[in-house]
Structure 1
Amino acid sequence: MKRLTVSVLSLSLTACFLTQPEPVKRNTLGELDLATELPQTTVTEAAPTPEQLAAAYQEIVALAPKASARQQANSRLAQLSLEQQQLAQEQGVTQDSGYFDNTVNQYLALLANSEALDGRDEVLYQLAKAYFLKGDQQAAFDVTSELIRDYPDFAHNEELIFRQGEYMFNQKQYEQAKNRYLTLVESYPDSPLVSTSRYMLAWSDFKLFNYQASLNSFTQVLSLALEQDGKTVINIEQLNNSDRYLVADTLRIMSVIFSYSDFEQDPVSHYQQYGWQAFSFMNFDSLANYYIEQKRYLDAAKTYQSFITTSPEPNHKVDFALAQMSVFKKANFKSLLTDYEQQFIREFGVGSTYLATEPTDAHYLALKTLEKKYADRSYYQGQQLAKQNESAITAFSAAAIGYQRYLDTLQLKQQGDIDSHYLLAESLYQSQQWQKALVEYQTIAYSAEPNKYQSDAGFAVVSIYKTQLANKQRSQRDDARQHEFVVEVVDNWLKFATSFNTHKSASTVVLQAFNLLFERQMYGVLLTKFAHVERFSLSESEIYQAQLLAAHSHYNLQDYASAESAYKQLLAKSSEQASLVRENLAQSMIKQAEAVAATNPQFAADKYIALLTLLPSTLYREQVQYNLTQYLISLQLFSQASKWVDDFITRYPTSKNIESLQTQKIAIYKNTQQGDKLAAQYAYLATSHSDENTRRISLYQSAEHYRNMGDIENARLQFRTYAHSYPAPFAQNLQAKVELANIYQKQNKASERRFWLNKIIAAYKVAPETELTWAKTEAARATEVFANDAFYVYQKSKLTVPLKTSLARKRKHMAVALERYQQLADYALGQYSTQANFKIAQIYHLMAQDIMSSERPKQLKDLALEQYELLLEEQAIPFEDQAIELYARNNQLLHSGLYDEWIKKTLTALAKLMPARFAKKEVEPGENHAIY
């Protein structure tokens, strides 16, 4: 470093400095050219005192034979005198103006003999110094001017130029002083006086009101003064006293310049033009302090801020920011202080480049204090605005940011604050930043280091997940992500319950977790969690609820066997939900049965029987018992089925399944050979079944089964109802009529029988083509009865007197019988045709016989009687002839291969009527090829 020496004597109120030059190298006694003139002396080890030296040189002056030696001795005596006077002055010894006259006179004496003087330039130099010490500045200035003029290459000219500048400055000849300083700086750039010269040059420009030039020079002074080992010293306390004073004074006067209202330059514009220096901050700090002294607090704050805003280097900005806050505090600018504190947090807090390394203690203390202050303030505002939702959220958001910054700040020093950490989580929660709040609460709750907020934080985690769950349920459409999130929620809830099992809500949270899984149909996950239910502190009723959900989960996973087992365990416990458990147990057993019913109906039946035995009053009994009957019937276990069917019908008379069961009882009664019940069941279905066709079939079946059982009366009633109710299908209707005719025949109810015989005859007339042959046969059979009835009436009708009357009556009966048999003949059916033909011939034959054997009038005499007989014969012969002809026609059928009972009777009748022709042994026909 170029060291600057400041002479105290040259200091003035205007802070003008005069440097103390380094001592000029002088000749010592040993260096004098006295080898031939001076006697040899013995040199002692002790150094001579100045007084001893002066006496020695006085002796030399007196004894030296050569003028040159005497001149050197006189020069040395003058120099010793000057040094003694200078030393006395530095030691503060009081001296009058004549004190330096001897020295001055000595130098003047030397100069008087200029021809013999060797080293005139040095003598002039010493003379100028003597004048300076004497205080004769003008004389000193004149000598230095002569020296500079006569000896431009003199070794100490830069010092002389400096002293001239100093003299001119003191004489307020600032322009001339500036020129002398400028000459020194330009001509002797390596001189140790350059720095002081620049300083004085700056002062000269200042005195000349050249402020910009002055600032530039002062800046150069700072640059030189603060340079040490190639680096700039930024702490002036590391400087020596003189340099420290120089720097301080330079900064001070620069502050004065910057503060001038009519000078538009400030530190920012100055260094933007000059170029920013490592020491630039000193100017800002000095100017700010200058303003503070003058109580110009806003100007001081602006000065600090201008450096912070414009300086290209980050160094010292934090300190200036702290100083700026100090100014606001000192001036009691509360509003400005508040704004700047928050600005400080933003610009110099966490996240800024000013915290790339560990902060200073002052920086750290200010940051953590302010971060905490404003975080607490925002939190308090949020609490006060709780009813104003949006505003409260904004306040809590600010609080969250503040607490996070505060905690991050503490972390810079590896410190923490659990209270503020919890308030951070609370702020995030209140500002609805759920995910961030969740992270903080989890950190607090499950910290390895115990803290007073752990359980509360754990429960807050539970609450946040509830909120997030509701939000995601409304917005999230990704089922896979929903599933993952629910698992995350449940894991955290159960973690809370196990970590804080004494918390009043721990068991509630466990049940909520299980319920959530159940609601989301995540049954497998629920069962996995339930497997470790013993980890949770649950009451008996709470365990019951969890078991119930687990049982439900087995059920919904279609693991009905496990569900049955779980429900049976629950059923063993007394609970208000016992009825629900019973029904769920029933459902589990039902589902097991249904699952294998198609392939293993026996298992299904056994499961249903077990269910009805275990839970006889289940709400599902009706369906279960019905299904049981179906399985038993399908397994052909009719005896078992009969018991369960009868019980079902008794229990549930209004069931929709009654009809099907009543129908299935038919199969049961058939297979258990309960004929009486079978017939009665058919009769029941005939009147109760909803399907008309089923009713029809059942009615007919009941009639048949009654008939087969020998219950003729019930059979008659059923056939009669059927015949009246179901004209179609034709065949069954006709058969019912036939059955009725037969029943009435057995019951000897002739009129009822003939009623149905007439129905049979009438049915033939409308018979379909497919049933025509059978209907004709049945009609012929019925017609035969009516024909025989007519024949019987005809046969019973006797001819009595008066013959005319009885004959007319008989002829009437004859006509009816003939008509009936003709109807029978018209069917053209084998035996019925031959019978009809025979009966018709027989009718005529009987008429002839009856006429001949009719009652004779009693009053007739023999002649009259004879005539009457002839008359009767005349009446009878036509009938007999007609009879023979009709018998003969019937007999003709024999030749067509038809031979039956009536052909046989025909031949017998012909044999009696015409014995000559027909009274011979009959020949039985061989094979009968007639069609019936």
Structure 2
Amino acid sequence: MKYFLSLILISATLVTSGCSLFSRSDKTIRIADIGSLKVRSVSNEPIDVSHEDVVRYYQAYLAVATDPEMRVRVAHRIAGLKLQSDEIRMERVVDDEAALAEDRILAKASIDDYENLLKAFPDRVDNDAIYYQLAKAYSLAGQPYQAISVLEELVKRYPRSIYYLEAQFRLGQLLYAAGDYEMSEAAYQALISVGPAANRFYRDAEYLQGWSIFKQARYEESLLAFVRMLDEHFPDEATLEAAQGGDLDLLNDTLRIMAIMFDYLGDWNQIAHFFDEHGARYYEYKLYAQLADQYYEKKYYKSAASTLRAYVDRYPDSDRAPSYYERLITGYETAGYPELLRKHKEIYNERFGVGTPYWESHDVKVRAEITVALSKYIWDLATFSHGWAQAAKKRSEKEERFNEAARWYSEYIRSFPEAADTVKAHFLLAEISFDLERYDDARNNYEIVAYQYPFYEDAAEAGYAALLAYAKYKPVPERELEWRQLNVASAKRFVTEFPDDPRRGTVLVNTAETLLKDKYYEQALSTARLSQETGVELPPRYRYGASLVQGHSSFELGFYDEAETALLSASTYEKLSRKERADLRQKAAAAIYKQGEQAKVDAPQQAVDHWLRLAEVVPESTLKVNAEYDAATLLMEMQDYDRAEGVLLKFRQEYPNHELTKDIPSKLIVAYEGKGEWRKAAFELMTLSNDAKEEDERRIACFQSAEYFEKANDLDNAIVMYKRYAHTYKTPFDPAIEAHYKLDQIYALQGDEDKRRFWLDKIIRLHRNGKDQQTERSRYLASSAAFQLAEFDRIAFEKVKITLPLAKSIVRKNEPMQRALKRYTQAVEMEVLEFTTPATFHIADMYAQMSKALMTSEKPKGMDEVEAEEYQYLLEDQAFPLDEAAIDIHQTNIRRTYDGLYDQWVKKSFSSMAELMPGQYNKPEKVATYVDQIR
């Protein structure tokens, strides 16, 4: 009995746990996802029970259970355990036909259990789980059509079931397997309509729906379905290229079936038609490649080639276009179509060759990929034609094929000038040209081989062949001079290559002089250089000639450092006239100057050094003035102000009357600014303010000079320049009033109140007279000036005491008060907030102070009590209007709080009113006590 009770407890626990199977959640739950539940006994040792044991326990529980709800749940659980047991058995013996048959019988038992449950309890809200399990049982029992029926009932009855998505997906699969592609499509569409959120079947449903449509021979609709799937799940090239595992399999299978459908629809042209109608997609290239692969597998070489070419024609600028065309050529090579092979190699070069629009519009990476195939194709075409020409018997045929070979060798050289076998192309091209009696072309290519590739095995032979070509060729009269020069160049090269002639030095000098005369500067320079590098000592005349050619040629070519050295060397020749020597030195100076110009951008310090050394190397040169000035200018641009200052001061000292000296002050100003030497800059600005031609320039220099003196703390000079500006320039208005303000500030620092009063008053008058030129700044400065003037008088007012006799002392105190009131009023009228509230407060406070001073003033002596009382009444009569005025004005300040203004001066007005009207403004806040609140 004790053992039976334990089983009942275990069963009850399992039943309670099993209830969660029928609860609703966002996570899809399947039978296969439910693991076996473990219950621990009191000893904490696991109880080893099988599915059959648990089923027996549940059945024992049913024999005694009376609660209807618990009986239903246990019945559910028994059916689920039987189905789970069947699934486990089938997985273990999947290849055993007898076992499968037995398991199907067992599954049939589970089917009976689920159907009995549905009959017994047809309206339970959790029957979706029963339908789900029943469909699975039918599948295990090998009855797909019954499974379809159950799943259709499930999705119809329970559209919100946690099994809905999987049921729709399984329904689609079963319908597809049953050949009902239209219904399968509908099932997948129902899944797709749910959307991707929390729908793990979404992508597979899209993919399988495409297949369902394909099976109905609705190819274009199927293509659109697959395109929608690709667009959504492979939105860009990076996503597509990163695909792997199942994603990659899905992608490849999708592309394969799409390619098949395009073939079904016609041929490769259908790809373009489809995407023209429905919008281009970045992955189109995959479809062309896939379709071509399918054609190649069937050995439809021309169809495959047409497919690849269709892609290239559609996307001629694509990075993939060359590789697609290479596949086309490889296909023809595999198929053994030589004429088509050569034809398309030529087309490849026309489309993608070096210098074509395609080549020019693509980057190094794409060009590198093209180069491998392109070089092979061009070389193949050249050698094929060359071999044909050599074997040809007819001269016309031979000449035609030689020309074709020459064209391709030239194309190779043009396309790949740095390739290792380009020299061989030059040599073969030269041979063809010689055979065709094109000696100009022949000598050109022979010289390239001989002198640009000195380590080539046939370099010497090529060099000699070039001279033979020169000898063979008879130019037209117009080209005789040119040909002579070219022959000279070739001879020079040959001498260099074969240095056995003892006269080579003098020959090269004569050649260099001839080239210089004809203005062939590059050749003249190279020849002159070579003449000095032969190892043979040249006579003085030829040393001079070589230096002269080298100097003039290198100067013309922009090699100014070499020109300087060569020209100075040539100027030492003893037989030169004074003028000739002076001209050479002047040109050497020009070469030094040009070196500075060349170095200006990339090496400015070197440029400065070149320009400054010009006067040392050629002191008599007239270029040194410009050179030194340019050096100073460049130093300024480099912000090397220390060095620039020295050069500028030296320039002004040495060339005081030179036109360029006029610009020295402005440059020095910038230099001093850069160094922070404000006083020096101020003096230069002072000079400009005196000497500048334009009045506006003098005005600006005057103001800036004052600013810089102030910045350097030279206040005396700053005052001088600010005064000059204030007295001289009334316009523009803004700097004029600033100059007045600056004078006030400096005098404030010096504590000179009288001079401050003068300039403060001028600020106010300048602002008032400004009329339409007035600005917020001028209004602020004028208000500040009025306030400051008022402060001076207020302080004076506060210092005056009212003593006997009252008439005199009151007048003495009233005078500064009236002046202060006037200035404070001016400050208020200008409506600058910063000064409005303090001015208002001081006006009120001065009235209050005057009243208080009257009331506390010295009393006449000798009055009796009645007289004293009468006297006090008289004082009160005089003081009362003052108090009234103070109150009114303080209240004006206080009322500004209504506008959201509350600063220290408004606060002080409140404090003053607390003294003047304590009954209204000095009321302590009444706070209720805790006890009062309770009462």
Q: Same fold (TM over 0.5)?
A: no
Of Structure 1 and Structure 2, the greater helix share is in 2
- For the pair shown, the structure with the greater C-alpha radius of gyration is 1
Higher relative contact order (CA 8 A, sep 6+): 1
TM-score, normalising length: structure 2:
0.45
